[in-house]
């Protein structure tokens, strides 16, 4: 009977080594395949951004007015995937409020976002400050709601009306706390937009506003016969 030749020890070692390297290479191949399937450097569910510089007439780095927050600057226009749907957004920064807001580009009309006022409209707002205060004969709570609605309307002339109506000169009684809060909110919105349009500081814009108010009709203290009336009810200024 013939016998099969025995394999040498060297051959056996080579065979074992080959099988070992084949086994170690297999998992690496699987990992590489998995990486390619997922996409190198891309995690599932991550929002993807799209480089765009202009949408709906607005462009990046432009200052705009968002009614609920005032003057902001468009930092970017990006595209994100949310719940499987792609959504294009304006990324707006409000420096003074230290806040960043993302607004869908398709909703700018419904939220009232607009460009900065043109110089003629700013002049009209400043002229409004020189007029007589018009204070309705209603309770303060109702007037406060109307003032707040004007401030959040984003209308620069309407905001100027609030500043004019709530302004108090040195010869007048001091404002109540709630009056002061609304006055400062309206003054802040107005001064920030004027500063952005005229490219001056907010301090300079406030000085211009105060100068316009000083040119308006003087409002002295209430006559003695009105001293005992309800603080929340006032006659409309003549």
Indicate the CATH number for domain 54-115.
Answer: 2.40.10.170
> What kind of fold does domain 119-222 have according to CATH?
Methane Monooxygenase Hydroxylase; Chain G, domain 1 (1.20.58)
Alpha helices in the chain (DSSP H): 9-38, 108-111, 119-129, 140-151, 156-166, 177-198, 202-214
Measured CA to CA, the distance from residue 151 to residue 158 in angstroms comes to 7
pLDDT at 218: 65
Give yes or no for residue 191 having a pLDDT over 70. Answer: yes
- DSSP class of residue 32 equals H
Measured CA to CA, the distance from residue 108 to residue 3 in angstroms comes to 90
The model's confidence at residue 3, banded by pLDDT at 50, 70 and 90, is low
**Residue whose tokens read 């349009």:** 197
pLDDT at 189: 96
Q: Do domains 54-115 and 119-222 have the same CATH topology?
A: no
Q: For the full predicted model, state whether its pTM sits above 0.75.
A: no
Each residue of 165-175: pLDDT tens digit?
Answer: 999 887 788 88
All structural domains of the chain with their residue ranges: 54-115, 119-222
- The contacts of residue 64 (CB under 8 Å, 6+ apart) are 58, 71, 72, 73, 74, 92, 113, 114, 115, 116
pLDDT at 139: 92
Give yes or no for residue 43 having a pLDDT over 70. Answer: no
CA angle 44, 45, 50 (to 5 degrees): 105
Each residue of 120-142: pLDDT tens digit?
Answer: 999 999 999 999 998 888 899 99
CB-CB contact of 109 with 115 (8 Å):
no
Give the rounded percent of residues in the chain with a pLDDT score beyond 90.
55
What are 7's two structure tokens? 């394999």
Pairing of strands 99-104, 85-94: antiparallel
Whole-number average pLDDT of the chain? 78
The model's confidence at residue 14, banded by pLDDT at 50, 70 and 90, is very low
- The H or E element containing residue 85 is strand 85-94
CB-CB contact of 233 with 129 (8 Å):
no
The model's confidence at residue 118, banded by pLDDT at 50, 70 and 90, is very high
């Amino acid at each position: 009977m013939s016998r099969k030749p025995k394999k040498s020890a060297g051959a056996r070692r080579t065979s074992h080594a080959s099988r070992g390297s084949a086994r170690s290479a297999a998992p690496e191949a699987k990992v590489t395949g998995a990486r390619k399937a997922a996409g190198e450097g891309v995690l599932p569910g991550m929002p993807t951004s799209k480089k765009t510089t202009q949408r709906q007439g607005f462009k990046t780095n432009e200052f705009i007015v968002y009614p609920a927050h005032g003057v902001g600057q468009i930092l970017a226009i990006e595209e994100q995937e949310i719940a499987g749907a792609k959504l294009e957004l304006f990324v707006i920064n409000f420096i003074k409020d230290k806040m960043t807001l993302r607004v869908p580009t398709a909703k700018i009309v419904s939220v009232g976002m607009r460009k900065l006022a043109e110089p003629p409209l700013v002049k009209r707002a400043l002229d409004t400050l020189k007029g007589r205060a018009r204070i309705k004969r209603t309770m303060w709570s109702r007037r406060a709601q109307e003032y707040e609605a004007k401030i959040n309307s984003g209308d620069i002339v309407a905001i100027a009306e609030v500043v004019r109506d709530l302004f108090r000169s040195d010869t007048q009684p001091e404002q109540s706390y709630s009056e002061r809060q609304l006055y400062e909110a309206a003054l802040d919105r107005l001064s920030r937009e004027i500063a952005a349009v005229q490219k001056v500081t907010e301090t300079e814009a406030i000085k211009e506003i105060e100068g316009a108010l000083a040119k308006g009709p003087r409002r002295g203290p209430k006559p003695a016969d009105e001293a005992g009336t309800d603080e929340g009810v006032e006659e409309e200024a003549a």
